Amino acid sequence: MSAIEVEGLEREFKGGLKAVDGIDLRVEPGEVYGFLGPNGAGKTTTVRMLVTLLRPTGGRATVAGFDVAKQPADVRRNIGVALQEAALDLLMTGREMMELQATLHGIAPRSVRGRAAELIERVGLAQAQNRRVGTYSGGMRRRLDLAMALIHEPSVLFLDEPTTGLDPLSRTTLWEEVRRLKNEGTTVFLTTQYLEEADQLADRLGIISGGRIVAEGTPAVLKAEVGRPHLDITLLDEGDGPGDLARAKQVLERFGGERPPSEGCHLSVTVERGAADIASVVRSLDDAGLSVASLELVQPTLDDVFIAKTGRHLEGGSSGDAPPEEPAEPEPAIAAP
Amino acid sequence: MPFVARVSLALSRRALVNAMRRPQLLLPLVLIPTLMLAANVGGLNRTTTLPGFPAVHGFLDFQLAPAMTQSLLFGGVAMGVAMALEIEAGFFSRLAVAPIPRVAIVLGRLGAASAIAVIQMLWFLSIGLIFGAHVKSGLPGLLVTFGIGIVAGVAFAALGVALALRARNASTVQGIFPLVFVSLFLSSAYFPRNLLTSPFDAIARYNPLSYIAEGMRDPIVNSLSAQPVLEGLAAAAGLAVLAVGLSVVTLRGRLDEA
Amino acid sequence: MSASIRTIRALVRRALNEIIRVPGGAIPGVLAPAIFLVGLSGVYGAASQLPGFPTGSFRSFIVPVGFLQAATFAGAATGVNLARDIEQGWFDRLIVCPAPRVTLLTGLVLSASLRALLPATALVAVAFALGVHWPGVDGLVIAYALTMGMAAATACWGISMALRFRTQQAAPLIQLAGLLATLFSTAYAPKALLAPWLRHIADVNPANFVMEGVRQGFVGGVTWEHSWQAVVAIAGLLIVLGTFAVRGMRRVGVAA
């Protein structure tokens, strides 16, 4: 049985806006599944449907074997959730928040304190546990949020952009925790807009744009689909620029195709075997009497994958022609009488 | 203890602690009605001599009930604002994904509201006694006043919660603040019904706040008598049942629509 | 037009934008004094039957309460909005511009005075529709002038508190001063009918002189005695509270 199974999932808001437009995916137990896409792609809407905060308007989904629409209470018993906003009560202490969460998840009263203390220790908040959450840094709040999501040892954990806004150190700490969870067998559904995060953590990725999955697979396979690594080479200028460039192109033909642009002392060439070809390239250029000033191996990125599938950059972008994640006012607020 | 009770208690405790840790939000609930009580009593104390004014020990005795009612109404708005802020900040979502009975989300709030109502009632009854109010029916009467007040406090809080769940933003809930005054002006809370100008006297007859205030007032200014007390209790309880039902239905509707 | 005048005009326009562009948010504040007039007179109207009441119309007697509410709400709103601007960082932008701080203060205070005209006018419209005595042109002019002065004084208070605490959490403190000033006066009854303790407070409450100054046209006629006392009270409030406000503005960025 898959940990998460989604077929034709849709979410349409009033006015015909389709934030999620027919998604199919499957996540196996113990897998870290990365859900990658720009702002407005439909990531958060998808997560909110899978954690039963939003009802799908089409398709079906099961989490931990339970239907999200028909068996939401069972779904909630088996999932841990850390949403995009670290929804914490700033006036409570870390310990109080953990103990409340333990109570809400039905942990026996005599076990609440112990379990809360255990998780607090695990995420490195023991020193701060009796301080109000309002005094915590962003990274500390995220760690508390994660600890709360794990209090009942869920089989499936949803992390919605867990490192957005965090400093590099906090981000790394959180990544280590995700890896640890994976080693413990927890299924993790992780949404992110950061390429490096997806690359580092995910066993498999789904790339979403405009409410649809445009690519799915392991990071390596996805990247290999769209390109090979290339070398950006700058030759030492020893007087005969055009001549040197021409000879370099000739020498490097056997490694792979030339990539534009080549001008002056710079050229770029695809290398089929990546880093394994570097030594041979340098030796060949040296044999031809050409000296290398600098050399950089550039791997295809998930951004390259995204561009190949959508024609747009992933990082720093948003789904320009897609509907927003959720409309600013999905339902009209009642006016005061 | 049944799970729903355990969770409701935990959420009540949390909401109460939350409120206590922000005294600057709690203080206006008692301070403004207290100041208005002082001004009303100081400015209009001679009105007890008007023909048709019921026999009272003092105008303060008469004015305690509207002060308490006003404070409890403010409490209801404040509870609604607190709920709306949590919805805006996302904490409500955390509760919604937890495997708890949905009704506990509302009951938790109302539990805190009833505790705050006790504090509010204690405050006004204490300052009333300190400044010379005379509770004609003694301790039993005090308890009756207390009881009606707490039930009313729960009713007002439930209305605030229902509005917060519907509107989902704090500024809309805050915007009903003037309505507190309007609803009290259109009742016999502040002044005897027979001395209200037209059409206020007619409207007051249909306003449950009239009966709630009169029910709380009667044990203070008279010996305990069945009719005003029962009417007050019935108005408070009826409003509470309606309001709690409304908030639970609104909660379900909000979670289902989502 | 001098730079200072242009700055003041810009600040006033910005303050009034809040009402024009978010009318839904402003409506409660604009209508509140009128609502209180109707409500209070509906509830306590019979009080005018008390011996010693200067008029048979309770509504006419309590109209000045509405004017003072209009003034103190507008003044308090100016303070609360400044606290918000400080919290959100917009005030820093204002402070680093070359305009003198007194000019900035003048702009804020003037915006409060002008803002008070809206609820005051709504009050007047409702009052006359409900049969309140016509105060005469002099009475009405004095009422408006004192309201604008009171709004300026309250704004100085609000600005001082906003600069002192630098957070919107100071809002209740800002609003409370206006409430106290309005309530602990001859708001509901003439001095002779007040409880002794309230009479003593009214004797020393400057807002009470302003209240009587606004009231005079509505319950009788404009007299020199009520007018000069009200003007002196406003002037005193402006001098004292204005000094606090100016000091507060000058201290910004100087204190650690």
Longest dimension (CA), chain A: 86
Q: Quote the ipTM score.
A: 0.88
Measured CA to CA, the distance from residue A140 to residue A173 in angstroms comes to 10
Which tokens sit at C65? Answer: 């309460």
Is C52 contained in some domain? no
Q: What total of structural domains would you count in chain C?
A: 1
- What pLDDT, on the 0 to 100 scale, is given for residue A241? 72
Q: Which residue of A has its CA nearest to B257?
A: A55
Measured CA to CA, the distance from residue A210 to residue A320 in angstroms comes to 8
CA distance B103 to chain C (A): 32
Least confident of A16-20, B66-70, B130-134, C60-64: A16-20
Measured CA to CA, the distance from residue B11 to residue B147 in angstroms comes to 23
Amino acid (1-letter code) at residue B153: G
Is B244 contained in some domain? yes
Which tokens sit at B85? Answer: 């802020």
Determine contact: B251 vs chain A, CB below 8 A. no
pLDDT digits (tens, 9 = 90+) for C8-19: 887 888 887 777
- What pLDDT, on the 0 to 100 scale, is given for residue A253? 79
Q: What total of structural domains would you count in chain B?
A: 1
> Which of chain C's residues have a Cβ under 8 Å away from the Cβ of B44?
44, 47, 188-189
Q: What is the pTM of this model?
A: 0.83
Least confident of B247-256, C22-31, C166-175: C22-31
- What pLDDT, on the 0 to 100 scale, is given for residue B258? 54
Is C65 contained in some domain? yes
Is C103 contained in some domain? yes
Determine contact: C235 vs chain B, CB below 8 A. no
* Range B152-177 burial, b when 16+ CB lie within 10 A, else e: bbbbbbbbbbbbbbbbbbbebbbbbb
Q: Do B18 and A92 touch (CB under 8 A)?
A: yes
- What pLDDT, on the 0 to 100 scale, is given for residue A291? 87
Is C94 contained in some domain? yes
Determine contact: B226 vs chain A, CB below 8 A. no
Mean pLDDT of B7-26: 91
φ, ψ (nearest 5 deg) of residue A202: -80, 135
Residue B248: CA count within 13 A, CB half-sphere: 14
Is B55 contained in some domain? no
Residue B212: CA count within 13 A, CB half-sphere: 31
**Local confidence band at C94 (pLDDT 50, 70, 90 cut-offs):** confident
List of chain A residues with pLDDT < 70: 86, 256-263, 315-337
C29: domain range? Answer: 2-44+57-255
**Residue B199: cis peptide before it, omega within 30 degrees of 0:** yes
Nearest by Cα to B207 from B239, B175, B174? B239
Is C232 contained in some domain? yes
Measured CA to CA, the distance from residue C4 to residue B248 in angstroms comes to 57
Is B30 contained in some domain? yes
Is C126 contained in some domain? yes
Determine contact: A108 vs chain B, CB below 8 A. no
pLDDT digits (tens, 9 = 90+) for C51-67: 999 988 999 999 999 99
**Residue A261: cis peptide before it, omega within 30 degrees of 0:** yes
The CA distances from residue A122 to A90, A137, A148, C127, in Å, are: 21, 17, 11, 67
Determine contact: C42 vs chain B, CB below 8 A. yes
| C23-32 contacts, C-beta under 8 A, 24 or more apart | C24/B175, C25/B171, C25/B175, C26/C118, C28/B175, C28/B177, C28/B178, C29/C73, C29/C74, C29/C77, C29/C119, C30/C118, C30/C119, C30/C122, C31/B178, C31/C119, C31/C122, C32/B178, C32/C69, C32/C73, C32/C119
Average pLDDT, chain B: 93
Q: Which residues contact B144 (CB under 8 A, 6 or more apart)?
A: B137, B215, B219, B224, B229
Q: Do B181 and C35 touch (CB under 8 A)?
A: yes
pLDDT digits (tens, 9 = 90+) for C23-52: 666 777 889 999 999 999 999 999 999 999
The closest CB to that of A88, out of B3, B91, B163, belongs to B91
Measured CA to CA, the distance from residue B212 to residue B214 in angstroms comes to 6
Determine contact: C180 vs chain B, CB below 8 A. yes
The closest CB to that of B44, out of C35, C47, C169, belongs to C47
The CA distances from residue C129 to B183, C42, C59, C140, in Å, are: 22, 15, 12, 15
Measured CA to CA, the distance from residue B84 to residue B159 in angstroms comes to 12
B208: domain range? Answer: 3-42+60-257
Q: Which residues contact A237 (CB under 8 A, 6 or more apart)?
A: A265, A293
